[in-house]
Amino acid sequence: MIAVLREGCPVKVKAEIVRFIENAGYRVQVSEHAGQSMIGVVGPGAASLAGPLADLPGVEEVRPVAPPYPLVSREHHHAARRVKIDEVTVGADEFVVVAGPCSVESREQLMQVAPALAQAGARMLRGGAFKPRSSPYSFQGLGEEGLQLLAEAREATGLKVVTEVLAPEEVELIARYADVLQIGARNMQNFRLLAAVGAQPRPVLLKRGLMATVEELLMAAEYVVANGNPRVILCERGIRTFETSTRNTLDLGAIPVLKERTHLPVIVDPSHAAGRREWVPAMARACVAVGADGLIVEVHPDPDNALSDGRQSLTIEGFGSMMGELRLVAGAVGRKMAGGSGV
Binding site for ligand PEP (CB under 6 A): 102, 128, 132, 184-186, 207, 237, 269, 272
Q: What are the helix (H) ranges across the chain?
A: 11-23, 50-54, 107-120, 144-157, 171-177, 191-198, 214-226, 254-261, 270-274, 280-290, 316-332
Give the SS3 label for residue 85. strand
Residue 129 CB, nearest approach to Mn ion (Å): 13
Residue nearest ligand PEP (C-beta atom): 184
Residue 309 CB, nearest approach to ligand PEP (Å): 6
Residue 16 CB, nearest approach to ligand PEP (Å): 48
Where on the chain is the footprint of Mn ion (CB under 5 A)?
102, 309
Q: Pick from Mn ion, ligand PEP, none: which does 300 bind, CB < 5 to 8 A by kind?
A: none
Q: Pick from ligand PEP, Mn ion, none: which does 237 bind, CB < 5 to 8 A by kind?
A: ligand PEP
- The size of the chain, in residues, is 343
Nearer to ligand PEP, 237 or 263 (CB): 237
Which of 69, 45, 111 shows the shortest CA–CA distance to 226? 69
Nearer to ligand PEP, 41 or 129 (CB): 129
Residue 215 Ramachandran class (φ > 0 left, ψ -120 to 50 alpha, else beta): alpha
Residue 238 CB, nearest approach to ligand PEP (Å): 8
Q: Pick from Mn ion, ligand PEP, none: which does 240 bind, CB < 5 to 8 A by kind?
A: none
Q: Pick from Mn ion, ligand PEP, none: which does 207 bind, CB < 5 to 8 A by kind?
A: ligand PEP
Nearer to Mn ion, 82 or 240 (CB): 240
Residue 101 CB, nearest approach to ligand PEP (Å): 9
With beta carbons less than 8 A apart as the criterion, state whether 342 and 157 touch. yes
Nearer to Mn ion, 37 or 271 (CB): 271
Q: Pick from ligand PEP, Mn ion, none: which does 222 bind, CB < 5 to 8 A by kind?
A: none
Residue 115 CB, nearest approach to Mn ion (Å): 21
Residues 243-282 as b/e (b if ≥16 CB within 10 A, e otherwise) read eeebbbebbbebbeebbebbbbbbbbbbbbbbbebebbbe
- Measured CA to CA, the distance from residue 178 to residue 277 in angstroms comes to 27
Provide the 8-state DSSP code for 294: E
Nearer to Mn ion, 90 or 102 (CB): 102
Nearer to ligand PEP, 237 or 335 (CB): 237
Residue 200 one-letter amino acid: Q
With beta carbons less than 8 A apart as the criterion, state whether 203 and 50 touch. no
